[in-house]
Amino acid sequence: MEMGYWVENRWVWDLKWKERISGEDTLKLGVMKQIISSYSLIKGKKDTWVWTLEGDGHYSVKSAYDLISGLDTTAGVTVFSKLWKACAPSNAVALGWRVLLNRLQTKENLARRNIPIGNLSCPWCGSETESTSHLLFTCGFAWKVWTLLLRWLNLVLVLPDEPSYHFAQFVESCSLLKRNALSAVWLASVGMLWNGRNSVIFREETVDTNDLSERIKLKSWNWLRARQHEFQYSFFEWCNDPLLCLP
């Protein structure tokens, strides 16, 4: 309650810290701000616990069992530690965090929360339900984008459809020193695919896989150039031989 105040019926966050925030904590703070700003507080209403694995918000033994059975805690911590170190801005990392936790506002997730959607089909192919995994990884459109990127990076991989394993497989395909940069490429890719999806749905625009892959190259190059002092390569060099540009 000491970290904000009400302006009429709108809550305004006023985060204060005893010590100065710096380094990696700055990135984590940006992610935290993205998370808390996505919730709308209601004046006069008390907090309640919600079980997010069920559409009605109530706990069930089955959903808890399914979660425990399929969860590798150690692997999850490792994946997130790599995500926090990515050479990318905090909003991009926050989006990646939501992807790994399946918290994107896809049609499937919205329907699970009893939000009326109507057509649940994927905007790329129109033949399957729009889930996080399908939209960003397994749909033919997304798969072609990832294929173009793997060809550009000169990598031969079989990428899983589960987000955390997809991220881990993509990032760990190169040496340790290159992983933070590859994390940036992965974040730029999921970000561009998500933005492209929104352009198709809300602005009825046409999105091309080749154009999308070129925009991913440009975005990741801008991030690396801004966040890695040793990255002094031109965009032409980045496009021509990306792995040679990475430390």
- Does 29 or 217 have the greater pLDDT score? 217
Residues for the chain: how many in total? 247
Domain extents in the chain? 73-245
Closest CA to 81 of 225, 179, 208, 186: 179
Among 157, 156, 178, which Cα is nearest to 169's? 157
Q: How does residue 150 score in pLDDT terms, banded at 50, 70 and 90?
A: very high
Question: Two tokens at 2?
Answer: 């000491």
Which pLDDT belongs to residue 41? 82
Reported as a pLDDT band with limits 50, 70 and 90, residue 67 is low
Amino acid at 14: D
- Encode the chain in three state secondary structure: CCCEEEECCEEEECCCCCCCCCCHHHHHHHHHHHHHHCCCCCCCCCCCCCCCCCCCCCCCHHHHHHHHHHCCHHHHHHHHHHHHCCCCCHHHHHHHHHHHCCCCCCHHHHHHCCCCCCCCECCCCCCCECCHHHHHHHCHHHHHHHHHHHHHHCCCCCCCCCHHHHHHHHHCCCCHHHHHHHHHHHHHHHHHHHHHHHHHHHCCCCCCHHHHHHHHHHHHHHHHHHHCCCCCCCHHHHHHCHHHHCC
Q: What is the pTM of this model?
A: 0.72
Residue 49 pLDDT more than 70?
A: yes
Q: In this predicted structure, which of 35-49, 68-82, 193-207 has the lowest mean pLDDT?
A: 68-82
What is the per-residue pLDDT across 69-80, written as a single tens digit (0 to 9) for each? 654 444 455 788
Longest dimension (CA), the chain: 58
**The tokens of 26 are what?**
């700055």
Does position 51 have pLDDT exceeding 60, yes or no? yes
Given this model, what pLDDT does residue 177 score? 65
Exposure string over 131-148, b if 16+ CB within 10 A, otherwise e: bbbbbbbbbebbbebbeb
What tens digit of pLDDT does each residue of 83-138 get?
888 899 999 999 999 999 899 999 999 998 888 888 899 999 999 999 999 999 99
Q: Which residues, at least 6 apart from 105, have a Cβ–Cβ distance to it below 8 Å?
A: none
Measured from the Cβ of residue 3, the count of other Cβ atoms closer than 10 Å reads 10
Provide mean pLDDT across the span 46-74.
72
